[in-house]
Amino acid sequence: FLLIIIWSGDTSAYLVGKQFGQHKLRPDISPGKTIEGTIAGLVGSVLAGVITWYFLLVEHLPLMTLFQSLLISLIISITSQLSDLSESIIKRNAGVKDSGYLIPGHGGFLDRLDSMIFATPTFYYCLQLFRLI
């Protein structure tokens, strides 16, 4: 559930931002990110979360409601984007473009996991808050 929300948000933000992005979000932190991409990431994450809940979790996690899946998806989307921007701040302060070269063309290993840094504990606390675990 967590990974689907994050990956769907990242993919939606990238595709819409590249195609339709006109307004830079914070060019001093991450020059490629746009406001349009950010909004698309939020929408993509929430849609993916609700669809995943409906098709995969509704029978296996009957305590989770539609509202909870929507809210958790939105919170995870926001925290994953903040996590991604935070890692970009660290890279800019260090004067590097990529966090490594382990995965060529993808900015390094940390760049593949940066969205999960804040989102994973946030997901855990959301599950605790709604008494789902």
Each residue's pLDDT tens digit, 63-107 = 899 999 999 999 999 999 999 999 888 878 877 665 555 555 555
- pTM metric for this prediction: 0.86
24-to-33, 38, 50, 64 alpha-carbon distances in Å: 6, 10, 28, 36
6-54 confidence digits (pLDDT tens): 999 999 999 999 999 999 998 888 888 999 999 999 999 999 999 999 9
pLDDT at 100: 55
Backbone angles phi, psi at 3, to 5 degrees: -65, -40
Separation between Cα atoms, residue 126 and residue 80, nearest integer Å: 14
Name the residue with higher pLDDT: 39 or 58: 39
DSSP code at position 72: H
SS3 116: helix
pLDDT of 107 reads: 53
